[in-house]
């Protein structure tokens, strides 16, 4: 059975403004605690489009079993970060800017899984077609 | 592009770089999918091994050489090879790897050079000497044969282009058709990369907003 990753963003609408605090909760299940090598949580933006891709990591934390009192990284873990002024989320024709929270699970067998949850930073209008 | 990603990002363009870059699409072998040559990845690695881990993948721009490399890498690694991947850059006077890096090569190292023809003649000789002196293998991609044993010729047909576009499009997309792909193929021929760029633009122009 595949390990189960859960990642929740606290704000149900998932729309934030610069300076807001993003709060996330992640949890791991269906895997033994001793099989987990590390869990990385991050908040990042990346571009998507037809050209080169760009990426920026705004928040990053890596936890290993020794970071937990009972060496168990599976229980719910909460992390927060204050969101920056830029880049703002954008859905353009040539490029789109995505923001997301991400959790990556590293198992001792070398296997790796990840889950991401998107959110919107700012309120830049979506690109529209020029009127004909 | 998988359903999960489409669900997360409904404005996703199925032809964006993340979905079409080498490694995101599995290389397709066999005449039934339009790529000439019926050898599968494992067979190609066996052929590479028989050639003392030296070989070249030949094909025009955007015909799938990098995608084929990405498909071969796990098979080469599973054969016990330590893959060292380098990309040659135009007008680069240096080799695409440092001397310290070269010093770590040994008989289980598989040196892979993307864009071999971009290296100067002198650097190609230096590279060849460095590989031979350490018994490292050498696999390259190039547009015309460079004198190594030819592993595979990549080539795109219109049938393959149509099949790939159909694979990338969401199931409910009804505004890009096979005739759009045929028209684009007529303009770009073997260059699938350019064809997919054109599909990106077409998708952005036509998708509902």
Query: What is d(CA A95, CA B25) in angstroms, rounded to the nearest whole number?
Result: 21
Contact B17 A50 (CB under 8 A): yes
pLDDT digits (tens, 9 = 90+) for B123-153: 999 999 999 999 999 999 999 999 999 999 9
- Alpha-carbon distance values, B3 to A62, B7, B10, B170 (Å): 29, 6, 10, 8
Q: For chain B, how big is the Rg over CA atoms in Å?
A: 19
Query: What is d(CA A44, CA A34) in angstroms, rounded to the nearest whole number?
Result: 28
Q: What is the pLDDT of residue A130?
A: 54
Instruction: Supply the pTM of this predicted model.
Output: 0.79
Query: What is d(CA B188, CA B194) in angstroms, rounded to the nearest whole number?
Result: 6
**Dihedral, CA of residue B139, residue B141, residue B143 and residue B147, to nearest 10:** -10
In the 8-state DSSP scheme, what is residue B191?
-
Whether the predicted pLDDT of B63 surpasses 60: yes
Distance of CA A15 to the CA centre of its chain: 14
3-class SS of residue A8: strand
Residues of B with CB under 8 A from a CB of A: 8-9, 11-13, 15-18, 197, 200-201, 204-205, 209
Q: What is the pLDDT of residue A131?
A: 56
- What are the backbone angles phi and psi of residue B135, rounded to the nearest 5°? 60, 25
Q: Nearest-CA residue of chain B relative to A95?
A: B16
Q: What is the pLDDT of residue B7?
A: 77
Report chain B residues whose CB lies below 8 A from the CB of A129: 205, 209
Pairing of strands A55-63, A36-49: antiparallel
Query: What is d(CA B140, CA B145) in angstroms, rounded to the nearest whole number?
Result: 10
* Tokens 């339009």 belong to residue: B34
Whether the predicted pLDDT of B36 surpasses 50: no
pLDDT digits (tens, 9 = 90+) for A77-120: 999 999 999 999 999 999 999 999 999 999 997 889 999 999 99
CB neighbour burial string for B5-19, b if at least 16 within 10 angstroms, e if fewer: eeeebeebbbbbbbb
Query: What is d(CA A114, CA A110) in angstroms, rounded to the nearest whole number?
Result: 13
Contact B209 A126 (CB under 8 A): yes
- Alpha-carbon distance values, A129 to A47, B172, B173, B208 (Å): 21, 22, 19, 11
Q: Nearest-CA residue of chain B relative to A116?
A: B8
Q: For chain A, how big is the Rg over CA atoms in Å?
A: 17
Q: Nearest-CA residue of chain A relative to B202?
A: A93
pLDDT digits (tens, 9 = 90+) for A6-33: 999 999 989 999 999 999 999 999 999 9
């Amino acid at each position: 059975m595949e390990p189960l990753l859960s990642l929740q963003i606290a704000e149900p609408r998932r729309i934030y403004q610069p300076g807001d605090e993003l709060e996330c909760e992640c949890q791991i299940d269906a895997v033994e605690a001793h099989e987990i090598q590390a869990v990385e949580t991050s908040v990042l933006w990346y571009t998507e489009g037809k050209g080169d891709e760009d990426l920026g990591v705004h928040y990053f934390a890596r936890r290993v079993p020794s970071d937990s009192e009972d060496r168990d990284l599976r229980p719910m873990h909460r992390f927060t970060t204050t969101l920056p002024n830029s880049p703002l989320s954008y859905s353009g024709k040539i490029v789109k800017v995505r923001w997301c929270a991400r959790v990556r699970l590293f198992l001792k067998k070398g296997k790796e899984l990840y889950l991401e949850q998107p959110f919107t930073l700012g309120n830049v209008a979506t690109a529209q077609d020029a009127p004909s | 592009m998988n359903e999960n990603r489409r669900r997360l990002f409904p404005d996703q363009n199925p032809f964006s770089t993340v979905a079409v870059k080498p490694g995101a699409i599995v290389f397709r072998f066999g005449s039934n999918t339009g790529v000439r040559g019926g050898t599968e990845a494992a067979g190609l690695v066996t052929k590479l091994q028989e050639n003392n881990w030296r070989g070249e993948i030949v094909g025009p721009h955007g015909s799938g050489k990098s995608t084929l490399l990405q498909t071969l890498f796990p098979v080469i690694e599973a054969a016990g090879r330590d893959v060292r991947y380098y990309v040659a850059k135009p007008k680069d006077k240096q080799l695409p790897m440092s001397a310290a890096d070269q010093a770590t090569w040994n008989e289980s190292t598989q040196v892979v050079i993307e864009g071999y023809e971009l290296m100067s003649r002198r650097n190609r000789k230096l590279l060849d000497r460095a590989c031979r002196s350490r018994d490292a293998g050498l696999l390259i991609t190039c547009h015309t044969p460079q004198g190594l044993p030819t592993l595979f010729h990549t080539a795109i047909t219109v049938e393959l282009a149509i099949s790939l576009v159909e694979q990338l499009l969401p199931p409910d997309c009804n505004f890009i058709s096979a005739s759009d792909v045929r028209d684009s193929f007529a303009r770009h021929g073997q260059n699938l990369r350019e064809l997919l760029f054109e599909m990106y633009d077409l998708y952005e122009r036509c998708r509902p907003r």
